[in-house]
A and B are shown apart, each in its own frame.
Chain A
Amino acid sequence: MNDDNLAAVYRREVGRCTATLIRVLGSVDLAEDAVAEAFAIAAERWPVTGIPPNPGGWITTTARNRAIDRLRRESTRNDRHHAASRLQGDDMEPDDSSRDLGALDDFVDVVADDQLRLMFLCCHPALAPDAQVALNLRLLGGLEVPEIARAFLVEEAAIAQRLVRAKRKLRDNHASYAVPRPAQLPDRLHVVLSVIALIFTEGHTAGSGDALVRTNLLTEAIRLARVLVELMPDEPEAVGLLALMVLTDARRPARVAPDGSMVRLADQDRSRWDGALIAEGHALVRACLRRNQPGPFQLQAAIAAVHADAATADATDWSQIVALYDQLYVLQPTPVVAVSRVVAVAELHGPADALADLDALDKGRLDAYQPYPATRADLLPRAGLRASALAAYDRALALTTNPVERRFLTEQRARATFPRT
């Protein structure tokens, strides 16, 4: 055994184990401590004994036994009394082969549900989005506080405090550790999907923060979505989100040039796209659209799938993309969708039509939205309006902090000054 194996088990199992221990111990903090202790024991023992056949079960059982020991030693505080009494009634032995098959199935269902419970707890609507994100990464992804802090360019102490406050709020408010009732499920699921999408978007914004840590965010967001789809296969928007992230991530090898600069979709070397991820994304898009309950994530995934279908940028089916953006705008009339749609209109009908569509939008809402001037700046010289383009580039640059994007815009601005040869 080597460290890689232990690290792989940690990544795969830590969220699942924590989720089960929270149910068993009735406390997030106790569960975190117990799981950390079990992994510390594993780090000592597994190099000698080898990895057990069911590492997750081993960790869960060890964590539970350690927690019982500790509770017996320190059974003075109320929550520990509470947890100790819970444990006496709990008969959890994942490796117990003497159980009949039905009981084992029940057990597996309960444990699978634990991850859903934890996902809904971490994405509780009573928490602020940044707290939801931090809790997900910490409890389900097992990321350490410094990793989360580096990914979001926030002080470690601030992340630690955010986590403490969020856990305390959930505890003091008696948040339930349960999958929401059907009446509340759509709203609650929407929050879960938004949080996963937010984690992915953070990881996808190239150039700021530690690149490796940001890749962790992408991996973690996709992993969370995979777990969600596995546990809730009948939710087309969950499948849509997974498809969207997989198809977007497939382009990652072509998105950044060797010198670190950003490569636009039109200019990407498509042979560097990840074919396996694209195939998976396509299958997911087909699977969710077949249900005929289109939602924003499914439509965005369908758009990504159309892009992935084109062997070259020129071969892109822009009429289909514009049609999908039209549908998306009906469900989600936001500046983001409006501006993205205009980009597709430019390809389908030319820059003049696109500029007309752009000018028809409500500028008051768009003025501080960076893609708006950036898109105008891109369209204006293509429509022969170079002087106006410079002002638009300046406005876009004033709104851009990401160094990679700034470099890209500065180069484009210089190019727009001179006629293309």
Chain B
Amino acid sequence: MPQYLMSVWHDEEYVVDFTTPDAQRIGPQVGAFNAELEKADAWVFGAGLQPASSATVLRPAGAGVSMTDGPYAETKEQMGGFWVIEAPDLEAALDWAQRASDACEGPVELRPMQDEG
């Protein structure tokens, strides 16, 4: 079955704090959504990420590798979490993505995985 990446996008400067009113509201919404994904056998994997400032970028540099601090793209919004789901077709995947966006109250990007072999 086709797999899709659903990524959640946040303002760059978010703080991981589960005590804020927003987090208190959104946390359970996302939890309920995850349970629905599992119940429908659509869940493959999912996780929230630490803020983009925690990222490191590595590039091939001759024999070794160069490392730089920070996220790859310097944009106002950064990926804050993601799911990998299984869905029979784009329409079903869009359905899940819409519910994901509702649950985490933010934009969600849906992108298909490359087909196997």
Contact = CB atoms under 8 A, between A and B. Distances in A.
Interface string B75-117: 0000000000000111101110000000000000000100000
A170 B91 CA distance: 11
Interface stretch (A53-61, A171-179, A356-364): A171-179
Contacts of B2: 174
Contacts of B4: 173
Contacts of B93: 173-174
Contacts, number: 28
Interface string A150-194: 000000000000000000001011111010110010000000000
A179 to B, nearest CB: 11
A184 B112 contact: no
| Main DSSP-derived SS at the A contact region | loop
A141 to B, nearest CB: 24
A176 B94 contact: no
A73 to B, nearest CB: 23
A40 interface: no
Nearest to B1: A174
B89 A176 contact: yes
Contacts of B95: 184
A291 to B, nearest CB: 27
A418 B94 CA distance: 60
B21 to A, nearest CB: 32
A176 B91 contact: yes
A126 B2 CA distance: 17
A302 B95 CA distance: 35
Interface of B: 2, 4, 88-91, 93-95, 112
Given A173-B112, A175-B89, A175-B91, 7 more contacts: A125-B94, A172-B112, A173-B93, A174-B88, A174-B90, A180-B91, A184-B91
The 4 closest A-B pairs by CB, nearest first: A176-B89, A173-B90, A175-B90, A174-B2
21 contacts: A124-B90, A125-B94, A126-B90, A126-B94, A170-B90, A173-B4, A173-B90, A173-B93, A174-B2, A174-B90, A174-B112, A175-B89, A175-B90, A175-B91, A176-B88, A176-B89, A176-B90, A176-B91, A180-B91, A181-B91, A184-B91
